[in-house]
Structure 1
């Protein structure tokens, strides 16, 4: 016996389609053949599937403003990640992706703020604290950690999202150095070492100053490491910095200081031994002479 609910369900299937879906997956016509008990399959009832989806969509009590803000955060997140991947090698995380991070940072600030929406509406609790995982906060924290570990704050101006003057000056000198490399690398490499020495030295001095002042990000650090590797290993050039001469002299003196100390101690001890042995020999010699005089 079919219940009224089953009869209505069968009638709905008959009106919506001329086929039944059976347990063996074979569709058969409903002509004069006896009816078989239909097996429920989600694809056989698209209306029911849509109703389930709409039910899940309506389940959340997040306002439309917070939904739009979350959607904007997702789009900016994807844009920033798509910028980070090609900027991984060579490293250009700060100079290529600072605009994407600035936009993402502003959107997250709006999400985490107490009142920024219409009528002072806040999405902080509904988007950041509504679930145990705190997924939105976790996603942003991972990207913010990459930004901080890259020291991008030293290369990006705080007043406006743009590269600092020191960073622009370093990139200009780096471009000048690479142009010199490209000009002479096809010929004799000894000419490259001679003609590009001054340009490379200026770049190296600028990097040393930025390193002391802590005004460089990962982009500058990686670019200088690659440049030094090309200079020393690829082109086999040597560079003696004049500022390192006093350091080398002091280091050499400190290295040989223990040797000098032990050598002087050894010579001093030998002199003491000679002074102590000499009187004994002289006394024995005088006593021997006295004995010989008595015998004679």
Structure 2
């Protein structure tokens, strides 16, 4: 569908970009991707890698790669992290490097309140030459755009104990608007363009089975409200099976393999239920996490 690329291109002239974090069906395996307050929350260093191919079969559909590392310092009172992700949508290329800082308050033995911030450098450009036009000599599409670099910031907090967690974050404070009539991007700060994320989850333990229902809501004023309703069942700390419903978008199936005490491999498949269903074959996501299991005094991270 070559016309989809043109549609995305034309939309980029009038719509701000960068206000929404890349979509992930397995966000609960690396909450740092949605909330900077989760830096160091596992109680040990952790490395995560993910790859998502959205709307397979649809030309110009999003593809996202992500790698992050985070862990605690100062006896768990501070969490630090770094994340790098690449997002490709149509002719748009965006690379993001983020540094995370979180400060944690141990309210009781099994309760933590954490506040986090992140600063990012965003590298963006557009591959105009990939556009197929009726005139192959059209100079407007003969050269790619320069690479633009602009800042961004995010903030959030969370509270958790051994059975419950809740977090709130704003992943992008600055929006970056591509102006076709100027030489590049302009940076704006508009409350109506903030993306608000609210995430909560429970832990239900029964013998060797752990049931983990959770919910993630995304709200963008004047645009959309979307909710992920999830449930993952861990069996004997070896296998996780899950299902998720994303309102007006997809039904998701998830499977997670606990390869050993330090490594988890996850896969999810999104079956599209929106109007885009007829144009794609669903979305695939792979996830790998490795935990360095030296421990400090902290809430059991396996529960969350």
The two structures have a TM-score, normalised by structure 1, of 0.17
Higher RCO structure, 1 or 2 (CA under 8 Å, sep 6+): 2
Q: Whose helix fraction is larger, Structure 1's or Structure 2's? A: 1
Larger Rg over CA atoms: 1
TM-score, reference length from structure 2: 0.17
